[in-house]
Amino acid sequence: MGSLQLKSVRKSFGTVDVIKGIDLDVKDGEFVIFVGPSGCGKSTLLRIIAGLEDATSGSITIDGAEVVTVPPAKRGIAMVFQSYALYPHLSVKDNMGLGLKQAGTPKDEIEKRVSKASAMLSLEKYLARRPAELSGGQRQRVAIGRAIVREPKLFLFDEPLSNLDAALRVNTRLEIARLHRELKATMIYVTHDQVEAMTLADKIVVLDAGVIQQVGSPMELYNRPANLFVAGFIGSPAMNFIDAGRLGVTDAKTIGVRPEHLSLSRDNGEWQGKVVHVEHLGADTIIYLESEKVGLITVRLFGEHHYAVDDVVFATSAAGQTHRFDANGRAIR
């Protein structure tokens, strides 16, 4: 249980088309992540799945049942919001139990589920507190707990970690990954953060301007991006794009090389360039080169390297690691 199908889902606000025909198949137990630039319609799509927003057209099926006319509470979903959205006047326990109470679940069953969820999230100590008396990380765990107790077919997360600081974000990320393993539930997760997307997802859906650009496993997207947008969006630092004409390649419009697939040498190599900036990240060194032949390119070297600004160096791309794109931006395979 817990599969989801979207068929040509569209949404417009007035005359503005925000979602332009989405087809998507999510299998039971999958962890699916929506990524895309700000304003591309990720949250809107999630709210349509939740039933908080009506789709202009299209069909949504959860577990084989059409849910377009079903209210949010009856869809068997639970949602975790970026802003936590806890009920300020209720204790942690009542926050988690409210949904069940509304559904008429017996008291002892509510009690059981709340204590199970709070044990999972180590919230036992805080059950009597109000949200105002919790830290940001604890609040987000309560919000996740509120979703868990409903034992939904489908978990929906809208950027649940973006209000947390970096360290807490990593912890909560691990916690969500663990929850997914333990609950074996279907999860749909919206994020801006590539690392979250790459580390958590079974399947990533890359959206741009209300259209799916590519669907695939993290490694598929990384190794075989379908178009320029996905190639540039996945991976950090972003892929270098080089005009094919400058390299004398005739059967493609653009050549893409990831920064980590370039090597540097002081003596010889494919493209000569001058160092314009160096970033030391400890584990990596990022070097920006201005090359006469191919323009500004980024090189990512593993470990510590000492290049100075204005050094003249040669960059060479690893064999078989270049991507070719045609005039429409589609990958040539």
Ligand X SMILES: Nc1ncnc2c1ncn2[C@@H]1O[C@H](COP(=O)(O)OP(=O)(O)OP(=O)(O)O)[C@@H](O)[C@H]1O
What count of other Cβ atoms lies within 10 Å of the Cβ of residue 331? 19
Site for another protein in 134-193 (CB under 8 A): 134, 136, 139, 146, 150, 163
**Residues 326, 151: Cα–Cα separation, whole Å:** 47
Of these, 83, 122, 171, 321, which contacts another protein (CB under 8 A)? 83
Nearer to Mg ion, 43 or 285 (CB): 43
Mutual angle of helices 92-102 and 107-120, in 10-degree steps = 130
Position 44 contacts ligand X (CB under 6 A)? yes
Give me the least distance between CB of 16 and ligand X, in Å please.
Answer: 6
- Going through the chain in order, the beta strands assigned E by DSSP cover 4-13, 16-26, 31-35, 57-62, 65-66, 77-80, 154-158, 186-190, 203-208, 211-216, 240-243, 254-257, 262-265, 271-280, 284-291, 295-302, 312-317, 322-325, 331-332
Give me the least distance between CB of 154 and Mg ion, in Å please.
Answer: 18
Site for ligand X in 3-42 (CB under 6 A): 13, 18, 36, 38-42
Q: Would you give the binding string for ligand X spanning residues 187-216, x where CB under 6 A is met?
A: -----x------------------------
What count of other Cβ atoms lies within 10 Å of the Cβ of residue 10? 16
Of these, 1, 65, 103, 128, which contacts another protein (CB under 8 A)? 103
Position 71 contacts another protein (CB under 8 A)? yes
Window contacting another protein (CB under 8 A); options: 60-68, 86-94, 254-262, 313-321: 86-94
Instruction: Categorise residue 52: left if φ over 0, alpha if ψ from -120 to 50, beta otherwise.
Output: alpha
Site for ligand X in 302-331 (CB under 6 A): none
Nearest alpha-carbon partner for 213 in 327, 329, 56, 323: 329
3-state secondary structure of 179: helix
3-state secondary structure of 261: helix
Position 69 contacts ligand X (CB under 6 A)? no
**Residues 22, 59: Cα–Cα separation, whole Å:** 10
Peptide bond into 237 cis (omega under 30): yes
Give me the least distance between CB of 163 and Mg ion, in Å please.
Answer: 13
Beta bridge partners of 278: 287
Nearer to Mg ion, 43 or 140 (CB): 43
Give me the least distance between CB of 190 and Mg ion, in Å please.
Answer: 6
Query: Would you tell me which residues interact with ligand X (CB under 6 A)?
Result: 13, 18, 36, 38-44, 192
Query: Would you tell me which residues interact with another protein (CB under 8 A)?
Result: 47, 50, 52, 71-74, 77-79, 81-89, 98-99, 102-103, 130-134, 136, 139, 146, 150, 163
Query: Would you tell me which residues interact with Mg ion (CB under 5 A)?
Result: 43
